[in-house]
Amino acid sequence: MTDLGRGAGQPDREQQRQVRQVVSALRARGGVGALGAECHRDLPDVDGVVLSVFAAHAGWIILSDSGPRGDQLEDLHATIQQGPGIDAAGTNEIVTAADLNDAAPRTRWPRFVELALSCGLRAVFAYPVRSDTQPVGVLSLYRAVPGPLRATDDERARRYADAAAILLLDDLDLSSARPVAMALPADTGEVQQAIGVVMEYAGVDAATALHRLRVYARSSGRPMRDVIAEVRACQLPFDPTVPT
């Protein structure tokens, strides 16, 4: 059964104390960059953890991750503009899908689910990272097998999301950050056409094609919109047959 759970609440004093403990431990390990690995260590039942934030004029960027498919998950979120992470950022609420193969997530995020399943993703749990009650990022957990998180793991994930917000104030001015520009295409149909071109050239599946598009955009510092336009015109600015 799919769990499209949503929830948000004010932390009590004990929760605040636990968040402070997490923040102190992460600061001792280098700050926000250590969050993905530490959260993953505390939640061994998930396959990976990825922390993404929204930076002005740059779009979504990954600040910390641990696990094999975090980059692919964020490729899908950012480019398809569907999925638990997008909804968590848009609603400022926790959004989870305990089984992406169920009817509810397939109806809600059809293209995202299709590509996520092809990547080996089966469950995604997205927690908004809030600054002054406004979402500035998302902490996403994922795994290759279906099923809800245990209650204790859900509480740990909430603490790490709260800790991420505090650590961002230490390390990052979201209004002036200068990560690689990743402006998103306005039309999902254009993205799908570009994916098709790369699939044909490279002989890869859709998820891999999307991943290679975004890796090139990220490494070259070019807006994703421009890369998509060139690929659709069959003027590939990179070699899509090279694994990334």
pLDDT digits (tens, 9 = 90+) for 25-68: 999 998 888 999 999 999 999 999 999 987 554 457 788 899 99
The whole-number pLDDT of residue 177 equals 41
Higher pLDDT, 33 or 154: 154
Residue of 223, 138, 131, 220 lying closest to 186 (CA atoms): 223
Per the structure, the complete domain to which residue 219 belongs is given by 188-232
Residue predicted with more confidence, 74 or 171: 74
**182-210: average pLDDT:** 72
Please give the DSSP secondary-structure letter assigned to residue 107: H
Question: Rounded CA gap, 35 and 136, in Å?
Answer: 16
The answer to whether 33 and 54 have CB atoms below 8 angstroms apart is no
> What is the average pLDDT score of the chain?
83
Do residues 105 and 137 share a domain? yes
114-140: per-residue pLDDT in tens? 999 999 999 999 999 998 888 889 999
Please determine, for residue 162, whether its predicted confidence score (pLDDT) is greater than 70.
yes
Domain containing residue 153: CATH number:
3.30.450.40
* Same domain, yes or no: 75 and 155: yes
Q: Which residues contact 106 (CB under 8 A, 6 or more apart)?
A: 100, 113
What is the pLDDT, as a whole number, of residue 166?
Answer: 92
User: Based on the domain organization, do 144 and 228 belong to the same domain?
Assistant: no
What percent of the chain lies above the pLDDT cut of 70?
84
133 and 225 share one domain: no
Residue 58 within a domain: yes
The reply to whether 164 and 71 lie within a common domain is yes
Q: Is residue 93 part of a domain?
A: yes
- Give pLDDT, residue 179: 36
Tell me what pLDDT residue 88 has. 95
How many domains does the structure of the chain reveal? Answer: 2
Residue 8 or 103, more confident: 103
Q: What is the DSSP code (8-state) at residue 100?
A: T
Residue 215: HSE in the Cβ half-sphere, 13 Å Cα cutoff: 18
DSSP tag of 93: S
